[in-house]
Amino acid sequence: MLAADAQALARELRDSGVEVVYLGDVDPRQLVSTALQEDVDAVITPTDHDGVTRLLALADAPDIAVIGPEDALAWAVGAAGERTHRRS
């Protein structure tokens, strides 16, 4: 899930095969609520990583990764590799 004004990043992630839920600029509580509803693997947000991580832990979802936009493509490549290895 992408919570940033980063349309170019959203396109790059989609082109890499990642399903993207694009929210734009929302507060951390809205972000976590949507992440839980959409059953996401990661939240990409430019700010308040600690706050979002804390809210996810309180919601019993500490396994959802919280990453910055600068790390999103590297995460997507790594996550794709993990999915491939799990299928083998």
Q: Would you list the DSSP string of 40-58?
A: -SEEE-SS-HHHHHHHHHH
Q: What is the pLDDT of residues 30-59, one digit of tens each?
A: 999 999 999 998 888 888 889 999 999 999
The reported pTM is 0.73
Q: How far apart are CA 88 and CA 80, in angstroms?
A: 13
